[in-house]
Amino acid sequence: MLLITCPVCGAVGDESEFHCGGEAHVKRPASSKPGNVSDESQYEYLYVRNNPRGPHREMWQCVRGCGKWFNAMRDTLSLQFLAFYKIGDPIPPLPGKKSATKTRTPIQGRRK
């Protein structure tokens, strides 16, 4: 069981009371004209995510409390949450990068 604390309203509950929205801080390709975004950049934005062993930042929604989205840092090996922080708050640094391996995995199969 994952024990989660909403940093917005303070609600505490297990993962059934919250909704995980996947990796946090995924950057949208920067362009004022969508036609200028390359297919590869759009593909990376939509389908490619980090899949680390160790600390990982995720988006969560407080479903049974305030309904707001927030960010959390969770260790994918121990399943322990390391930090909860509001959207817009400073991003906490990842602890001990030594044990974490960073791999990028497409959500679905490669399209080419």
Q: Using the rule CB under 5 A, is 72 a contact of Zn ion?
A: no
Q: Does 66 bind Zn ion (CB under 5 A)?
A: yes
Can residue 82 be called a binding residue for Zn ion (CB under 5 A)? no
Query: In angstroms, what is the minimal distance from the CB of 73 to Zn ion?
Result: 17
CB of 91 to Zn ion, least distance (A): 20
The string of DSSP letters for the chain reads --EEE-TTT--EEEGGGEEEEEES-PPPPP-SSGGGS-HHHHHHHHHEEE--BSEEEEEEEETTTT--EEEEEEETTT--EEEEEETTSPPPPPS-TTT-B--EEESS----
Q: Given candidates 62, 74, 75, 84, which one binds Zn ion under the rule CB under 5 A?
A: 62
Would you count residue 13 as binding Zn ion (CB under 5 A)? Answer: no
Does residue 11 bind Zn ion (CB under 5 A)? yes
Decide if residue 100 touches Zn ion (CB under 5 A).
no
Pairing of strands 3-5, 12-14: antiparallel
User: Does 65 engage in binding with Zn ion (CB under 5 A)?
Assistant: yes
Q: Which stretch binds Zn ion (CB under 5 A): 48-56, 57-65, 91-99, 102-110?
A: 57-65
Alpha carbons 79 and 85: distance in angstroms, whole number: 17
Catalog residues that contact Zn ion under the rule CB under 5 A: 6, 8-9, 11, 62, 65-66
